[in-house]
Amino acid sequence: MGMVGFLVGVFGGLLLSHAAYATVQYRGMLMIVEEEFSRPPMNIVMELVLGLALCIWTALTVPGKFLSILPHSDENRLVSLPANLDFMIFNHRGKVFPLKQT
Amino acid sequence: MVVAAEEKELKRLETQVENGGGGAWDYLCLVRKLKARCSHNVLKFGLPILKDPNSRSKLGSDEWTLYEQVAIAAMDCQQLEVAKDCLKSLCKKFPESTRVARLECMLLEAKGSWAEAENAYARLLEDNPLDQAIHKRKAAIAKAQGNISSAIECLNKYLEIFMADHDAWRELAEIYVSLQMYKQAAFCYEELILSQPTVPLYHLAYAEVLYTLGGLENLQMAKKYYASTIDLTGGKNTRALFGICLCSVAIGQLTKGRNKDEKEASELPSLAATALMKEYKERAPDKLPLLTSTVKSMKLFS
């Protein structure tokens, strides 16, 4: 997945740069026929959109999976709070039933 | 915070050590990390390590941590002689330490000589008036003597200075709950949720306090907090699922006969009941008929 995603990303980048190059050429051609540049031709716009989509897809998949905001929510959830040891008191049945020494 | 995986690991290590499989030190480390209170086990597994000079020297400087841990465990088990021995070695190593002095005061507490302990703590506070642990111990002494109101006073004074201490807020909340002062307890739980919004157990405790307070508004709030507990635990908290069911039944009884604009919320309780049924089927199939009849009597399924 990583390698494929990376290649798709490179391809997207190439598409974007090719679109830029094509636009520059198109403007050069317009200058020769002496027309105003209003917007790039449709096929370049399509190329741009496709390149953008591929780059977005790569950026979302290649770095790794999304984690849930709460890391404990699924398998590893919180089950109990720690015993409040700072406030531990010794009044319990341990006083009446002392542990037998082994 | 104790998460499910660590709890399982703690149980596994405990049985392993019990059956002579070694790993006592790992067990003790995990107990320290989770702040679990398994004093008898700590005493049983930790004391042999301390008595054996070989394994003790293997620990390096962790030896002293183990001394402290075993000393507290011994106080908790009323093995005061053992605790005294541990403290003696600690005193020899760290003669000037406040931490050791605090342990000695705790030994006085374990003996039940409250006045002496209080005096000793007061002396320690003179040297360092902002020692949080000692302030907390003072509250604990008051509680141990059954003097709950002065424990509350102590904690309130402490929380005025150290407002971010969530352990103290939790202790205060639990004391208030034990005295049935639910409004005050609810305030403490609000503070806890503010300081640690991702801990589902505080949401659960707050919801329970609100449910106990009763009244339509509180019940509706309680239902919301039960729902957020379910959200935060991935739907695995049985108590919260039951809470949703009980809350919606209570709300239904209070709003009976009045306008029925709560129709859209009626999906939640039946979903909770379904989740409960599923969990019971998986983990306690013999209790399932009991649950089914309870749910039926609540009339959660329309």
User: Could you read off the pLDDT of B63-74 as tens digits, one per residue?
Assistant: 999 999 999 999
Residue indicated by tokens 């149980």: B11
pLDDT averaged over chain A?
83
Beta-carbon separation of A82 and B133 below 8 A: no
In sequence order, what E strands does chain A have?
Answer: 78-80
| Residue B149 φ then ψ, to 5° | -65, -35
pTM for the structure as a whole: 0.77
Beta-carbon separation of A77 and B234 below 8 A: yes
Q: Which residues in chain B show pLDDT less than 50? A: none
The per-residue pLDDT for B177 is: 95
Chain B residues whose beta carbon lies within 8 Å of the beta carbon of residue A77? 3-4, 200, 232-234, 236-237
| Distance (Å, whole) CA B214 – CA B3 | 31
> Both tokens of residue B298?
């609540």
The per-residue pLDDT for B261 is: 57
Q: Which of A73, A75, A97, A100 to mutate to test the interface with B (most CBs of B within 10 A)?
A: A73
Which of B137, B140, B234 lies at the smallest CB-CB distance from A73? B234
| Interface TM-score (ipTM) > 0.85 | no
The per-residue pLDDT for B233 is: 84
Task: Count CA atoms within 13 Å of residue B123 on its CB side.
Answer: 11
Residue A57: closest CA among A21, A98, A8: A8
Encode pLDDT of B38-67 as tens digits. Answer: 898 999 999 989 988 888 888 888 899 999
Alpha-helical segments (H) within B52-94: 53-58, 62-76, 80-93
- Rounded to a whole number of angstroms, the distance from the CA of B177 to the nearest CA of chain A is 16
